[in-house]
Amino acid sequence: MFSFLVGRVADIKQNYIHFFVNDGFGFKIFIINKNNYKVNELYKIFVIDLFREEEGINLYGFLKNEESLLFSKLITVNGIGPKTAMNILKNSDLNALIYYIKNRMIESINNISGACNKGQSIVYELNNKMKEFDIGIFEYEPVYSALKNLGFNNQQINNAVCRISSGLTCDEAVKQCLRIIQNG
């Protein structure tokens, strides 16, 4: 079992990378977003290894330890496998997803592309298992509320919020979200 690997990306595919560590070992690692990686760049990747009888050992890699921890929790939910968990993480902001789970926002989770209407199961099975995720208050909670009051649906809001920068003022975040929603 690995905790993390340090090495270089040798090749990037749609949903995985070939990753070489200094000792000459190469690994195929499934990833959330290929745009976060560049060939020949050095990375520390937090990995989860899963054994499946039909596939053998698969490695799932994350640039943030919090992502790997949440992935590990998501795959314990009945009906969620690694592909669904990866899709959920790919299509949502990490802090927003944690906030949705902690605050039992089933509809918001269901509206994440790839969640396959598993919001109720995720909330039911994980709500009390999220103590190590201390995000405080969700950074863009007021933005979420403002966009909801303007009539946008949860899917539009989730897609926009996960694409904006961190550390914006509320006004700047709303403006960026509106641009994203308008441009599709």
d(CA 63, CA 75): 18
| Per-residue pLDDT at 36 | 92
pLDDT band for 12, please (50, 70, 90 cuts): very high
Joined tokens for residue 121 = 């199961």
Domains of the chain, first to last: 4-62 (2.40.50.140), 66-129 (1.10.150.20), 141-183 (no CATH)
Q: How confident is the model at residue 51 (pLDDT cuts 50, 70, 90)?
A: confident
Tens digit of pLDDT for each residue in 118-164?
999 999 999 888 888 765 546 677 887 788 889 888 778 877 877 78
Q: State the CB neighbour count (10 A cutoff) for residue 86.
A: 22
